[in-house]
Amino acid sequence: MTVKVLLPEKLTICDHPIVKHNLALLRDVQTRPELFRNCTKRIAEFLFIKASEDIPTKQKVIQTPMMPANVETIPESIEIIVAPILRAGLVFSEAACEVLPSARIHHIGLFRDEETLKPVTYYNNMPDQVDKAEDTYAYILDPMLATGGSAIAALKVFENLEIPEHNIKFISLISAPEGINKVHTKYPNVKIITACVDERLNPDGYIIPGLGDAGDRAFNTEY
């Protein structure tokens, strides 16, 4: 049974043809790890550009080879944090660094307990505080938004830093309606950017039709 998304206005689906093509390759069980990582990176670039559309800019005057010109740039006062959830989120962070090389990268290590389906934190190098929370924009990167447990755990880190919800984006390759609803029940102003919303979760908490375990497939650790 397909679950209805509660807050569709806080959900952006990036359905660009290149995204669709690479997502099809990711789903294919025959896709090898190297191609899987490359496809993930291509999709991540599209998703991150879409997610960062609302970063404020300011006008300034620069000198071109021909004449002065008015341009828009991201103010130096804006702090951008990219937080990949280990380990599959690492491929995402490579794409984010190419789009915004000045962003700070902070890793959050989570794994899912296969019995309880709840997240377990094993690593976190986030700062204890940020200087200007209102001017900080955060992007949490995780290929799969399934049960939403890992997403909630990561979002809690940014809540503790007092970064406004509307400055936080959660970016995923594939999302399940159950995970989307769980995030928006707890954090209704966090926008989710994804390449696709799949049908549902299976009893083991995996997205259907999904693509399997993104970390295992990206790093060739399937058994």
Q: Domains in the chain and their CATH numbers?
A: 8-219 (3.40.50.2020)
**pTM of the shown model:** 0.89
Q: At what angle do helices 33-51 and 89-99 cross, to 10 degrees?
A: 50
Cα atoms found within 13 Å of the Cα of residue 24, Cβ hemisphere only: 6
What confidence score (pLDDT) does residue 125 get?
67
Tokens 């794994």 correspond to 111
Q: How crowded is residue 168: how many other Cβ atoms within 10 Å of its Cβ?
A: 23
Tokens 């997502």 correspond to 23
**Dihedral angle, C-alpha 193, 199, 205, 211, nearest 10 °:** -70
Amino acid of residue 118: K
What confidence score (pLDDT) does residue 162 get?
93
Which two three-digit tokens encode residue 217? Answer: 């497939």
**Mind listing the pLDDT tens digit for each residue in 158-215?**
998 999 999 999 999 999 999 999 999 999 999 999 999 999 999 988 999 999 888 7
**Mind listing the pLDDT tens digit for each residue in 83-129?**
888 766 777 778 888 888 888 888 787 666 666 766 666 656 677 77
What confidence score (pLDDT) does residue 113 get?
66
Amino acid of residue 25: L
Decide if pLDDT at 223 tops 50: no
**% of residues, the chain, pLDDT over 90:** 61
